[in-house]
Amino acid sequence: MSVPSLRRALAGAVLTLGLAAATGAAWAQPATAAPGTQQMIDALKPSGNRGRNLLVRQSSEAPAAAASAAPAATAGAGAAPSLSLAIQFESNSSRVRPESGALLGDLVAAMISPDLKDSRFVIEGHTDARGNATANRRLSQERAEEVRQYLILLGVHASRLKAVGKGSSEPANSKDPLAAENRRVRVVTVE
């Protein structure tokens, strides 16, 4: 088994076991349509990658799937390389759902790859505009920190990761502040 495959399997197992332990239930892990590790590397690569950001969101055909890859709108020339992920969380919670295991495993494989091993990242939590702005910012911070902790658990050094909660202040879809694509975790390469 390759290292990326092993990390994806471990991420799924950790998420499944963590959620099962927290709820006292056994969980089956559904198949996911997640982007590949190489797509993530390309999106986060610090040099020669300006304006090539990747948006990873839920597929409209399979709402229970963790995510599917779709290119984002091209960012400005000075934009930092970034990747938006539709990490699944329990409702109003920072608890990561098991179906996000493979996606997080691929992210770890990308972050520890030779292309990104010297890079640092900001893990941004984002919410839609539903509810109280202060509560949304707190929830987005907790979710960003939870993703950071999983990445550390799976092999990314803590000094390379910073978690920041943005709440609903930077929507992906500003025309519809309540849109699902506004609820995301964004990974930004820091140079």
Q: Which fold has domain 3-190?
A: 60s Ribosomal Protein L30; Chain: A; (3.30.1330)
Among the listed residues 139, 118, 117, the one whose alpha carbon sits nearest the alpha carbon of residue 127: 139
pLDDT of residue 35: 66
The model's pLDDT over 119-136, given as tens digits with 9 standing for 90+, comes to 999 999 999 999 999 999
The predicted model scores a pTM of 0.70
Q: Which pLDDT belongs to residue 132?
A: 94
DSSP states of 7-40 as a string? HHHHHHHHHHHHHHHHHT---PPPP--PPPHHHH
CA–CA separation, 65 and 5 (whole Å)? 18
pLDDT of residue 92: 87
Helical residues (DSSP H) of the chain, grouped into ranges: 3-23, 37-44, 101-111, 133-153
- Residue ranges in the chain whose pLDDT is less than 70: 1-35, 47-78
